Amino acid sequence: MAKVTGFLDYQREHQPYRPVAERVQSWRQVMDHWPVETLGQQAARCMDCGIPFCHDGCPLGNLIPDWNDLVYHQRWREAIDRLHATNNFPEFTGTLCPAPCEGACVLGINDDPVTIKAVELTIIDHAFEHGWVLPEPPALDTGKCIAVVGSGPAGLAIAQQLRRAGHRVTVFERADRIGGLLRYGIPEFKMEKRVLNRRLQQMTAEGVEFRTSANVGVNIDVNKLRHEYDALVLAGGATQPRDLPIAGRELHGVHFAMDFLTPQNHVCEGDKVPEEALISATDKHVIIIGGGDTGADCLGTAHRHGAKSIHQLEILPHPPAARALTNPWPEWPQIYRISAAHAEGGERLYSVSSKRFVDDGNGRVRALELTEIEMKIEDGRTSFVEIKGSKHELPCDLALLALGFTGPEKPGLVDALGVTVTERGNVWRDESWMTSETGVFTAGDMQRGQSLIVWAIAEGRSAARGIDAFLMGRSDLPAPLD
Ligand SMILES: Cc1cc2nc3c(=O)[nH]c(=O)nc-3n(C[C@H](O)[C@H](O)[C@H](O)COP(=O)(O)OP(=O)(O)OC[C@H]3O[C@@H](n4cnc5c(N)ncnc54)[C@H](O)[C@@H]3O)c2cc1C
Ligand code: SF4
């Protein structure tokens, strides 16, 4: 245990962020480094619980009390080894994860939880700075070839694990660059792409082959691929956006969130994006429909474009400041949170329902008509009732639909293979991560539905073990999930 009285001696401190006035002027990452000197005190708050619920909260099963102790004792080299033992990409989770481990931390029962995420990020940053993150090419060659479709965190974790086990791995990505949503979904200000690129350099040096502009099922015959490789993995994500079929949906100025975020990420990469593909929020009244993380990413992007006004709408009621009785520890706390983008401005409206987009007479959106609603739960069933007389309009030149995703796209890859899909529209798998087709595996959002990076990595690691065992008859690869 780091320090017996650490949780009594030190209070939780907040992750440092760059000042709002400065950060909205650029696309640079908003999260700042945590000073190494005070991080030791934060790690000292860990109680090294007999039953560490943080392990249970983390899908990767990260060995959190171990590295808290190592950081407290300034044993950084050992800390990164412990961290990499369960997580291929701690820099992604350390920067972007909502940290379910912190929600489950025992200290959180009657105090603020340990700053697990900050400790994780600082360990990996420290390791990169000191040149400790080196390629780990395999010592053997099994001669087996695996094709991974999709280069998001799930595909990357699968590829790294299988390559290190001695297999020949090729990752096929339909986009022009590798990274999935880490590349073209998540904005630069949340995680700079250099963080992704340095990890891809390591994987390339390990011998993973990357093929971009390779749309399997469209410009690459999936059945040919199946024939040429010993195993095929579907890690194509859940990219089908949920629509809002209300009157006026067809008006100019109403877009899916990803149509706003993706071109901006291309611009940040230095690409020349055709004007018609670029959606600008500059000097516009922007309404973001959907109160989740994708909506928050649209909010931060719209701030940087210089929007005139921004509203983010949520159909659910305002969350409570602290856990409700129905949401006890160690469940994920359903509480009011202020993300970095929210701290930069904009107005959040809760308990509202969008009724129609209003035409300006020239086929462009001019306003959104909405009503206030009340959520009712009767016999365990949730319903929403409109509050009479609450109908009103908000000015709107740009509406962004951030209502989540309905699952993987079916045309092309999924349809061509004929793999079974679940009732929810995700790709079905068995306990070895194999789909209904022999030798075809799946992991990440493609089989789970839109989720989190930490789940994608955990599933990638687990699927890699299933694939390794399928090819070799047994596997020594670790698998955090069944
Ligand atoms: C805007 C946004 C912000 C998010 N922010 C966060 C966050 O802050 N923290 C967090 O934990 N999670 C976040 N998420 C969720 C997280 O990004 C995903 O859960 C995660 O990326 C899923 O990983 P994946 O590898 O399964 O799929 P993806 O990252 O979606 O990658 C799938 C890849 O497969 C490719 N592909 C699909 N079909 C084919 C094909 N036929 N041929 C070749 N390639 C194909 C796609 O182009 C894509 O690059 C966010 C999601 C969005 C949309
Ligand atoms: S639950 Fe919290 S206090 Fe307990 S071991 Fe995990 S991080 Fe430390």
CB of 261 closer than 6 A to ligand 1? yes
pLDDT tens digits for range 96-123: 999 999 999 999 999 999 999 999 999 9
| Rg (alpha carbons) of the chain, rounded to whole number | 23
Out of 234, 453, 454, 461, give the residue to mutate to test ligand 1, the one with the largest number of ligand atoms within 8 Å of its CB.
453
Q: What percent of the chain has pLDDT over 70?
A: 100
Other beta carbons within 10 Å of 271: 11
- Res 131: pLDDT: 98
CB of 290 closer than 6 A to ligand 1? no
- Res 431: pLDDT: 96
Q: DSSP letter for 107, please.
A: G
CB of 175 closer than 6 A to ligand 1? yes
pLDDT at 38 over 90: no
Instruction: From the CA of 106, give the closest atom in ligand 2.
Output: 1
Split at pLDDT 50, 70, 90, the class of 203 is: very high
pLDDT at 240 over 90: yes
Protein residue whose Cα sits closest to atom 1 of ligand 2: 105
CB of 459 closer than 6 A to ligand 1? no
CB of 173 closer than 6 A to ligand 1? yes
Residue 336 CA to ligand 1 centre (angstroms)? 25
Split at pLDDT 50, 70, 90, the class of 36 is: confident
pLDDT at 482 over 80: no
- Res 134: pLDDT: 98
- Please state the rounded mean pLDDT for residues 163-169: 98
Q: Measured between alpha carbons, how far is 16 from 35 in angstroms, rounded to an integer?
A: 9
- Res 37: pLDDT: 80
> Element (H or E) spanning 342, and its range?
helix 340-343
Q: Measured between alpha carbons, how far is 440 from 426 in angstroms, rounded to an integer?
A: 15
H-type helices in 62-132, by residue range? Answer: 64-72, 76-84, 90-96, 100-104, 116-129
> Element (H or E) spanning 468, and its range?
helix 453-472
Residue 151 CA to ligand 1 centre (angstroms)? 8
pLDDT tens digits for range 375-410: 998 888 999 999 999 999 999 999 999 999 999 999
- Res 1: pLDDT: 78
- Res 99: pLDDT: 96
- Please state the rounded mean pLDDT for residues 328-339: 95
- Res 160: pLDDT: 98
